[in-house]
Amino acid sequence: QLQLQESGPGLVKPSETLSLTCTVSGGSISSSSYYWGWIRQPPGKGLEWIGSIYYSGSTYYNPSLKSRVTISVDTSKNQFSLKLSSVTAADTAVYYCVTSGGDYYGMDVWGQGTTVTVSS
């Protein structure tokens, strides 16, 4: 069964780039899922989709974040990553990596989440 684990700095300075990695275990990132993605949740608030990368290599981003987001896959490390540039305090959140067997099937595997605080 697939498992996901987020990693990365817990504190990022304003205007810098937030970089997170999601390590996939229990299967190959090259063949195990339909898409890989990132979701975030600001403190005390709801869930926000950040973006997804599909098995085909296509990427889709939330229009509200598109100019600042990059999602990529590293098959050699069985990982995928998130980069969010020019962060502000509004980017403080718990960041989750997710995967799914298909758009119809919902996001059925989630990482435990990692808290990122943007502060000087």
> Which residues of this protein are in contact with another protein, per CB under 8 A?
37, 39, 46-49, 52, 60, 62-64, 96, 103-108, 110-113
What is the Cα–Cα distance from 23 to 3, expressed in whole angstroms? 8
Measured between alpha carbons, how far is 40 from 20 in angstroms, rounded to an integer?
A: 12
Q: Which is nearer to another protein, 78 or 107 (CB)?
A: 107
Shortest Cβ distance from residue 23 to another protein (Å)? Answer: 15
Identity of the residue, 16 or 65, whose beta carbon is nearer to another protein in the bound complex: 65
CB of 106 to another protein, least distance (A): 4
- Closer residue to another protein (CB): 14 or 102: 102
Residue closer to another protein by CB (options 16, 107) is: 107
Give the C-alpha distances (Å, rounded to integers) separating 6 from 37, 56, 101, 113.
Answer: 12, 23, 19, 6
Report the nearest approach of another protein to the CB of residue 13 (Å): 26
For residue 26, the minimal CB distance to another protein (Å) is 14
Phi-psi region of 61 (alpha: psi -120 to 50; beta: other; left: phi over 0): beta
Instruction: State how beta strands 114-118 and 59-61 pair.
Output: unpaired
